[in-house]
Amino acid sequence: MFSNLADSLDKTFRNLRGVGKISESNITDALRDVRLALLEADVEFGIAKEFIAHVKEKAMGADVLKSIKPGEQIVKIFHDELAELLGGDQVGLDLTPPARLVLCGLNGAGKTTTAGKLALRLKKEGRKPILVAIDLYRPAAIDQLATLAKQVDVPVYTPDASESDVVKVAREALAWAETQRHDVIIFDTAGRQEIDERLIEELKRLHTFLQPQETLLVADAATGQQAVSVAKHFDEAVGITGIILTKLDGDARGGAALSMRSITGKPIKYAGEGEKLDQLFEFHPNRMADRILGMGDIVGMVEQVASKIDEKDAMKSIERLAEGKFDFNDFLDQMRMLQKLGDMKGLLGLMPGFNKIKKQIPDAAFDPKRLKRTEAIVLSMTPDERRRPEIIKASRRERIAKGSGVKVLEVNQLLKQFGEMRKMMRSPNKMNKMMRQMGGGLGGKGGLPGMGGMPGLGGPGGGFGDLLKGFKGKFPF
C-alpha cells in the first residue's frame, strides 16, 4: 500500500530539494503535484485540499525560506503534517478488564480474520481473550471464527444456527463467558455489502446492551473514496473508538487510511498486512509517515524479526560467522530463520530506500517455493557432505538431485553459489565492509538477530543497494 503515492512524493520532493532558492512559486508547483498524488491515492478531495493548505502555510514561513536547506525543511513539514493527519501519537486499546471489544464493518473487510488475529496478539501480550461469533446471517462466518479460535487456542462461543436475536445471543455469550478464564471478549458482528438501516439498527441495539470499551471499525485499505461514507455512518451509529485497517499488503492506494482518520477523528489502532494470524500490527502514524516518504520503518522491522526469531539460535549463528565457520548446516539454519520471517518482500519494504530498488529484484527471489527447493537439496545431503561440501563430486551430486527431486544442474548451481558465499564469509575484509554498510542494521552488533549471513540493510544513499549489487548471484535464495 502507498507505493504509488510514495513514488510520486519521492519525485516531487527530489525536485524540490534540488532547487537553489525556495519561493512561493516553486512551493505552489510542488504542492500542486502533491495534491494530485493524494487524490490519485483516493484521499477525499476536501481532506487533500485542507492538508495542502496547512503544509503551504507552514512552508511559507520565514524560518523555512531563510534556512540553509529549505527543501529539506519542507519535507519535514510535510512529514509532520502527514503523521498528524494519520493520528499523531499511537493510541492503544482500552483493555480494562473485563474488556468488551466489538468489531464492525462491511462484508469482505476481514472482520472475522481480524478477530482471530487480535485474539492471538492479545494472548501473546499476556491477556486472556475469548471470542464470540455474533454474525447470525452467515453460518460460514461462525464456522470460520471457530476454526480460527482453535488455531490460536482461545475459547469461542458459537450460537445456535436458528438464533436471530443478537441481543439474546450476546446475553447468552456473557453468561458463558462467566465460566471461562478471560479478561477480554471480542465480538465478531455481522456485516453487509453496503450500509443499510437493518444493519445499523441491529448494531445499535447490540452496542446499547454490551456497552463495550472499544467499538472498532474494520475497514479494507482498498475501500477508496467509499471509506469516508462508511466510516461516517458507523461512527454516527455507534460512536466507533478506533479503526483497524486490513490488507495493507495489497495494491490499495492508501487514501482510506488518510480519509477515515480525518473524517471521524478516531485513531487507526491496528493494521493487518497479510493472511497469517500473526500479521496484525500496532499502527504508528509517525512510522507510517516515514514509510510513505520512503524513510522505512526500522523499529517495526526489528519488532517483527524479534518476535519470530530465537535470539539464542541467532547469536550462535553470528558467533560461527565471526569465527569464519560456515557450512551447509549454518546455511540450513539461516534458511529456516528466513522461512519463519514469512513475507520477505513485505519485511524488506520496511527498509529505508527499498522501494527505489525493489524493481531490480526478481519476484522469484521472494518465492517461498524456492526456499523449499533449496532446503530439499540440502536435506538430501549426508551430515558429512553438509560439513564438507568440497567432497560432493559427480556421483554424489546425482544422488542428491534424485533425493530432492531436482535436476543435477540445480545442485551444481547451489554448490557454486554456496562456494562464493562461503568465500565471502571467510574474507575478513569483505565481512568488515559488509558490517560497515549494515551500520548496525541487521546482523551487526545491536542489530536484528538471526540475519548474520544475510545481506545487510543500510539507510538510503548506499547500504542496502550497494550490498545487493555486491551479493548479486552469490545467494541461492
Residues paired with residue 131 on neighbouring β-strands, in sequence order: 156, 186
Q: CA angle, 150 as apex, 144 and 155 as ends, to 5°? A: 100
Q: Are 447 and 472 in contact (CB under 8 A)?
A: no
Q: Which helix (H) or strand (E) holds 220?
A: strand 214-220
246 assigned to a ligand binding site: yes
Question: Which grid cell sits at 425?
Answer: 564469509
CA distances from 38 to 45, 165, 224, 372 (A): 9, 43, 12, 40
- What the block records as the C-alpha cell of 90 is 499511537
The answer to the question of whether 10 is labelled as a binding residue is: no
Q: Flag whether 247 is marked binding.
A: yes
User: What's the CA gap between 384 and 43, in Å, rounded?
Assistant: 59
Task: Identify the bridge partners of residue 282 per DSSP, sorted by sequence position.
Answer: 270
- The reply, when asked if residue 189 is annotated as ligand binding, is yes
**Which phi and psi (to 5°) does residue 153 adopt?**
60, 55
Assign 3-state DSSP to the chain and report helix, strand, coil percentages, each to 5: 55, 10, 35
Is position 324 annotated in a ligand binding site? no
Does 308 appear as a known binding residue?
no
Binding residue per annotation — 49? no
Q: Does 314 belong to an annotated binding site?
A: no
Asked if 315 and 446 touch (Cβ cutoff 8 Å), the reply is: no
Q: Is 105 assigned a ligand-binding role in the annotation?
A: yes
Take residue 82 and report the three cell numbers written for it: 502527514
Spatial distance between the Cα atoms of 369 and 321, rounded to a whole number of angstroms: 26
* Cα angle, residue 108 at apex, residues 107 and 110 outer, rounded to 5°: 105
Q: Is 257 annotated as a binding residue?
A: no
- Whether 252 has a binding-site annotation, put simply, is no
Residue 106 is labelled as binding a ligand? yes
- 28 belongs to an annotated ligand binding site: no
- β-pairing verdict for 214-220 and 242-246: parallel
Question: Do the annotations mark residue 231 as ligand-binding?
Answer: no
Q: Is 470 annotated in some ligand binding site?
A: no
Q: Where are the beta strands (DSSP E) in 224-274?
A: 242-246, 268-272
Query: CB count, 10 Å around CB of 158?
Result: 17
Q: Which residues fall in the annotated binding site for GTP?
A: 105-112, 188-192, 246-249
Q: Which residues fall in the annotated binding site?
A: 105-112, 188-192, 246-249
